Structure 1
Amino acid sequence: MVDFVPRRAARVLLVDEAGRVLLFRGVDPGRPGEPYWFTIGGGLDEGETPAEAARRELREEAGLDLPASAIGPAVHRDVTEFPFNHVWYRQEQEFFLVRAPGVEVDTSGFDDVERATITSYRWWSAAELASASEPVHPADLAGLLRRVTAGA
């Protein structure tokens, strides 16, 4: 039986004018040879709401300082289980859609763990996500992206 550390997190689907989502490529220090792609986001700080955490993570990870009004309601919620640095987490996460045309990504706000484990970033279309050669989290991000951007 695996003991999980419970965690709440906010994730951000940062979408550009072409409908692409920004993802980071990272590695787990416990499994450095297995890179994967993931959205902006992270754990909630004490007393922080998911929307507040999403706004903070956008600032820290992409250098995008938006007003609180730019963070709408969550567009998706799920629970995931994963290891990171030999610790297993059960994470309840909420996803927020943020449209930001012309964003220049600034990763200078990364903390030490992010600097050590995130190797690159890029913008992905839903079609590219569906045929990615490395794991993407969440697993059906292509479908989620299509659903939340439909009609745009």
Structure 2
Amino acid sequence: MPRRRLASRILLISLIDRLLLFKIEYKTGVLAGMSYWATPGGQLRMDESFEAAAMRELKEETGVELQSVKLCIARREFPWQMPDGEYVLAIENYYLVRVNTEQCSSASWSGRERGAISEVRWWSQAELAGCDEDVYPPDLISLFVEALGVGAE
């Protein structure tokens, strides 16, 4: 049985209903040449809750600081290969967060994030539906539509 990798992901949606995604591109290692779009987020630290990880990752990856995240709209479990080649069982909670601006900061990105994130983009529902690049999770468009229906946090 592979190791379980617990992570929080954030569906960060602006006032004009656009979703923030990062383009991840691996230039070296076992995943060299792989690229895809994904939401902000990342792995839980030791004894960290999914909610605490969502708030920490949101601040580190976008500069958005919140006192809490309340709405987990999805949970996904799937096999995933890590950049070092390890196969894990990824367990991810997806949190809906609404923001008033489409600005985000990369000031707190780690060296690994700086090396892997090649583009930051806000997507409309139509743009995401028409995207011909890989997007993770594969059903992200349905999560986005669901999130838009939920309304403000």
Settle same-fold status: TM greater than 0.5.
Answer: yes
Sequence identity percentage: 32
For the structure 1 residues 26 and 105, does the alpha-carbon distance in structure 2 shift closer, same or farther, using more than 3 Å as the test? same
Match of 2:40 in 1: 40
Find the aligned partners of 2:71 and 2:150 in 1 and give their Cα distance: 18
* 1:113–1:151 CA distance, 2 compared to 1 (3 A): closer
Q: What is the CA deviation profile of residues 40-91 of structure 1, one whole-angstrom value per residue up to 9, with x for unaligned ones? A: 10010111110110000010000111112xx113111111222122222211
Matched residue, 1:127? 126
Question: For 2:41, what is the secondary structure of its paired residue?
Answer: strand
Report whether the alignment pairs 1:66 with 2:66: yes
How far the C-alpha of 1:131 sits from its partner, in A, is 1.8
Query: Does the CA contact (< 8 Å) of 2:102 and 2:122 recur in 1?
Result: no
> Aligned partners of 1:48, 1:31: CA distance in 2, in Å?
28
Question: Where does 1:60-139 land on structure 2 (aligned, <5 Å)?
Answer: 60-68=60-68, 71-85=69-83, 86-139=85-138
TM-score, normalising length from structure 1? 0.91
Aligned-residue offset at 1:151: 5.6
Q: May I ask how many residue pairs the two structures share in their alignment?
A: 148
- Which secondary structure state, in structure 1, belongs to the residue aligned with residue 108 of structure 2? coil
SS at match of 1:104: coil
Q: State the alpha-carbon separation in 2 of the partners of residues 6 and 62 from structure 1.
A: 26
Secondary structure of the residue aligned to 1:33 is: coil
Q: Provide the residue aligned with 1:149 in structure 2.
A: 148
| Counterpart-to-counterpart distance in 1, 2:3 and 2:131 | 29
User: How far, CA to CA, are the matches of 1:117 and 1:84 in structure 2?
Assistant: 13
Q: Could you state the TM-score of these two structures normalised by the residue count of structure 2?
A: 0.90
Moved more, 29-38 or 7-16: 29-38
Structure 1 stretches lacking a partner, 5+ long: none
AA paired with 1:88? Answer: Y
Structure 2: give runs of 5+ residues left out of the alignment.
none
CA contact (8 A) 1:58 1:64 kept: yes
Partner Cα distance (1:45, 1:8) in 2:
9
Deviation, structure 1 residue 104: 1.5
The SS at the match of 2:65 is coil
Alpha-carbon deviation of 1:31? 2.5
- Report the CA distance between 1:120 and its aligned residue: 1.0
